[in-house]
Amino acid sequence: MNRAADARRAVRGDLLLHPVALVSLAVLLVNDHLLKQAAPGWVTGKLSDVAGLAFFPFLLLAVREVVTARPPTRRAAAVVAAVTGAAFAAIKLSTPARSLYAGVMGVLRFPADALVGGAQSPLAVAVQPDATDVVAVVACFVAVLAIAARRPGLPGGLELAPIPGPSE
């Protein structure tokens, strides 16, 4: 067994270093802060949804691993992807869900809005109620594919503890 590989596996939350997660995050950042200003429109609008929904399950699974010390499994990835997709769809399709999300995000953003924009109280974020955005939820399941590819052949994505190689 390769010791370097063992050392890499020892880091909790390292699912976030998966190329798909890194590319999704990079696309999200570049699109939100550069492309949307340079070329506002349908493509850049949808690109953020797809990139964000591809990245967010990775983030949730990594946080889960850091907090619980349990490595991500295909089942956990499927649950996280389904919950993320359902929440996104609800926000786009349901007014109460959208209001709740806008309010909660406004509170979470408030420290930054107060420091940068001078806001004196939390402001609900703006959410476009566009039903066509819901198609982007398929991106949530990229994390499931990534986990499946990472641990092929193991039922439920359960990871066997790495067996140390012979001492050198």
Partner 1 sequence: MSMRTQSWSTRWRSAAVALVMVLGGGATLATSSAPRCPDFPEGAASEFFRPPSSLEGWSRDATPSTFRAVGFDVERTTVHFSTCVRAETEKVPVMVRLEMAGESTGAVPQAWLSAMTVTDGHGRTWSPVSVFTRGAGPAYADSGYTLPARSEASFMLPVDVEAPVRLHLGELGGVSRPELSLDAQGPREQRP
# of chain residues touching partner 1 (CB under 8 A)? 46
Phi, psi angle pair for 71, to nearest 5°: -65, 150
Q: Is residue 25 involved in binding partner 1 (CB under 8 A)?
A: yes
28-41 burial by CB neighbour count: b if 16+ within 10 A, else e?
beebeeebbeeeee
**Where does this chain touch partner 1 (CB under 8 A) — which range of 23-31, 68-76, 132-140, 147-155?**
23-31
Strands (DSSP E) contained in 40-87 are none
Binds partner 1 (CB under 8 A): choice among 89, 97, 119, 134: 119
Task: Give the SS3 label for residue 168.
Answer: coil
Distance CA(44)–CA(28), nearest Å, equals 10
CB of 11 to partner 1, least distance (A): 4
Site for partner 1 in 40-59 (CB under 8 A): 48, 52, 55-56, 58-59
Q: Is residue 88 involved in binding partner 1 (CB under 8 A)?
A: no
